[in-house]
Structure 1
Amino acid sequence: MRKEATTLKSSLEGIRVLDLTQIMAGPFCTMLLADLGADVIKIEKPAGGDDSRRMGEIVNGESAAFLTLNRNKRGIVLDLRTEQGKDVLWRLIAVSDVLVENFRPGTMSKLGFDYESVHLKHPQLVYCSISGFGQTGPWRDRGGFDLVAQAMSGVLSVTGTPETPTKVGVPISDLNAGLFASHAILAALYNRQHTGVGQYIETSLLEAAMAYTIWESNEHWVTGHVPQRLGTAHRASAPYQVFPTSDGFIAIGAANQRTWEKLTQALNRPDLRDDPMFLTNRDRMSHIPQLVEALTEVLSRKTTDEWLNLLDKTGVPAGPVLSVDQVYQHPQVIARNMNLQSEHPTAGTVHTIGFPVKYSDTPATLRSLGPVLGQHTSEVLAEIGFTKDQIDNMIEQGVIVPV
Structure 2
Amino acid sequence: MDDCLQGIRVLDLSQYIPGPYAGRLLADFGAEVLKIEPPHGDPMRSFGLVDRDGVSPFYKSLNRGKTVSHLDLKSAEGQQTFRGLVAVADVLIESFRPGVFDRLGFGADALAAINPGLVHCALSGFGQTGPYRLRAGHDLTYMAVVGGLAATGTRERPVMIAPPMADNAGAMHAVMAITAALVRKQRTGKGARLDLSLAESALALCSMGMTVALRDGMAREDDLLNGGAAYYQIYRCADDRFLAFAPIEEKFWQGFCAAVNRPDLLPRQVEPLPQTALIADLAALFASQPLSWWEDVLHPVDCCFEPLTALQDVPAHPQVQARQMVQVTGPADEPIAEVPFPCWTDGQAPRLGAPLQVEDAAVMLARWS
Q: TM (normalized to structure 2)? A: 0.92
2:36 aligned partner: 43
2:317 to 326, 330, 334: 330
Kindly provide the amino acid, as one letter, of the partner of residue 294 in structure 1: D
Matches within 5 A, 1:184-199: 184-199=177-192
Residues 384 and 125 from structure 1, CA distance in 2 versus in 1: closer, same or farther, beyond 3 angstroms? Answer: same
| Residue among 330, 339, 344 paired with 1:358 | 344
**Maintained 8 Å contact 1:69/1:370:** no
| Mapped partners of 1:44, 1:157: distance in 2 | 36
Q: Which amino acid aligns with 1:383?
A: R
CA contact (8 A) 1:91 1:384 kept: no
Query: What are the superposed Cα offsets for residues 325-369 of structure 1, whole Å, 9 maximum, x if unpaired?
Result: 12222111111212224469xx98744224322212786432322
What's 1:92 paired with? 85
> Deviation of residue 212 (structure 1)?
1.3
Aligned to 1:124, the other structure's residue is in SS state: coil
Q: 2:364 aligns with which of 380, 393, 396?
A: 380
Aligned Cα root-mean-square deviation (Å): 2.3
Contact conserved, 1:29 with 1:182, CA < 8 A, in 2?
Answer: yes
2:273 is matched with 285
Q: Which amino acid aligns with 2:100?
A: T
Aligned counterparts of 2:100 and 2:83: Cα–Cα separation in 1: 16
Q: Is the 8 A contact 1:238 1:254 kept in 2?
A: no
Report whether the alignment pairs 1:262 with 2:255. yes
The aligned residue for residue 124 of structure 1 is 117
Which residue identity is paired with 1:229?
R
- Give the deviation of 1:83 after TM superposition: 1.1
Unaligned runs of 5+ in 1: 1-7, 386-403
Q: Note if contact 1:233-1:241 (Cα within 8 Å) is conserved in structure 2.
A: no
Give yes or no for the alignment of 1:234 onto 2:225. yes
Structure 2 residue 44 is the aligned partner of structure 1 residue 52: yes
8 Å contact from structure 1 (residues 238, 255) kept in 2: no
Distance in 2 (CA, whole Å) between partners of 1:179 and 1:9 is 17
Q: How does 1:180-259 map to 2 (within 5 A)?
A: 180-223=173-216, 225=217, 227-230=218-221, 234-235=225-226, 238-247=230-239, 248-259=241-252
Equivalent position amino acid for 2:117 in 1: Q
Looking at structure 2, the residues matched to 361 and 13 of structure 1 have their Cα atoms a distance apart, in angstroms, of 19
The amino acid across from 1:298 in the alignment is: L
Secondary structure at the aligned position of 2:316 is classed as: coil
Bigger mean CA deviation after superposition, 160-169 or 332-341: 332-341
The count of residues paired between Structure 1 and Structure 2 equals 365
Distance 1:348 1:133, change over 3 A: same
Give the letter aligned to residue 367 of structure 2. E
Q: In structure 2, do the counterparts of structure 1 residues 153 and 162 end up closer, same or farther at CA, with 3 Å as the change threshold?
A: same
Deviation of 1:309 (Å): 3.2
Residue 314 (structure 1) aligned with residue 314 (structure 2)? no
CA drift of 1:214 comes to 2.4
- C-alpha deviation, 1:313, in angstroms: 2.1
Of 236-245 and 10-19, deviating more is 236-245
Deviations 1:275-327 (A, max 9, x none): xxx1x52x2535x1111111122222222233233223221011111211122
Specify every segment of 5 or more residues in structure 2 that has no aligned partner in the other structure, as ranges: none
Counterpart secondary structure, 2:355: coil
Offset of 1:141 from its aligned partner? 1.4
Counterpart contact for 2:25–2:341, Cα < 8 Å: no
Q: Which of 69, 72, 77 is the aligned partner of 2:65?
A: 72
Contact 1:10–1:364 (CA under 8 A) maintained in structure 2: no
Pick which of 213-222 and 100-109 moved more. Answer: 213-222
Q: 1:376 to 1:121 in 2, by over 3 A?
A: closer
* Greater C-alpha radius of gyration: 1
3-state SS of paired residue (1:148) = helix
C-alpha displacement at 1:74, in angstroms?
0.5
Q: Which amino acid letter does the alignment assign opposite residue 324 of structure 1? A: L
Distance in 1, Cα, partners of 2:276 & 2:334: 52
Identity of aligned residues (%): 34
